[in-house]
Amino acid sequence: MITSIEERQLVAPVKAPTAAASLTTPAHAVAALPNEFLSFRLGGEEYGIDILRVQEIRSYEAPTRIANAPHFIKGVVNLRGVLVPIVDLRLKLACDTAKYTDFTVVIVLNVRGLVIGAVVDSVSDVLALGAESIKPAPQMNESVDAGHIIGMGCIKSGDVERMLLLTDIEALMSSAEMGLMGAAMH
């Protein structure tokens, strides 16, 4: 199963706040956030990332393991001649379980010119969120690494409200412990 998202990349990318910004997103900055997010599940939580960072969505295939890589970097796959590192976001973000099922997919991302695969439990849909649907990220103390959370999306469908953790995928993939971005940034 390969689903291309290339037609959405005709729009100029919107730069999301970086991890260097405070852990909360001021209300005036919420308007500067992307307005289309790909939603996906990690455990019992639903996350959203800027759709403009998504290159494609692929079914999960076991990657080739890399010796001495962190436990959340599962290895690499060959994607049309490009070796793509595969990061299991469930392990990176310490989800309770990381079972590989028929719903497990890899979101292929383009982050700072580097192609990276992110393993998630499932992909839900593409959501357009207006500024009124995005709330600032909650304040966290220093012991909680929430620098990649840029806000909370509130989606109301009838009487049911869903919360979507809006994630700065660039900040998450650029963290020093990932060790993936050094070559792409030089």
pTM above 0.95, yes or no: no
Catalogue all structural domains in the chain, each as residue range(s) with its CATH number. 2-8+20-176 (2.40.50.180)
The DSSP call for residue 18 is P
Rounded CA gap, 185 and 169, in Å?
A: 16
Largest CA distance in the chain: 49
List the one residue out of 148, 152, 158 whose CA is nearest residue 133.
152
pLDDT at position 182 is: 53
In the chain, the percentage of residues whose pLDDT exceeds 90 is 42
The residue that leads in pLDDT, 44 or 118, is 118
Mean pLDDT, the chain, whole residue set:
78
**Model confidence over 29-46: pLDDT tens digits?**
444 566 899 999 998 899
Residues 18 and 168: beta-carbon distance below 8 Å: yes
pLDDT at position 158 is: 82
**Model confidence over 66-94: pLDDT tens digits?**
999 999 999 999 999 999 999 999 998 88
The region, left, alpha or beta by phi > 0 then psi within -120 to 50, assigned to residue 179 is left
pLDDT at position 183 is: 47
- Residue 160 sits at the vertex; the CA angle it makes with 154 and 162, to the nearest 5 degrees, is 30
DSSP letter string, 46-93:
EEEEEGGGEEEEEE--PPBP-TT--TTEEEEEEETTEEEEEEEHHHHT
* Secondary structure (3-state) at 170: helix
pLDDT at position 138 is: 73
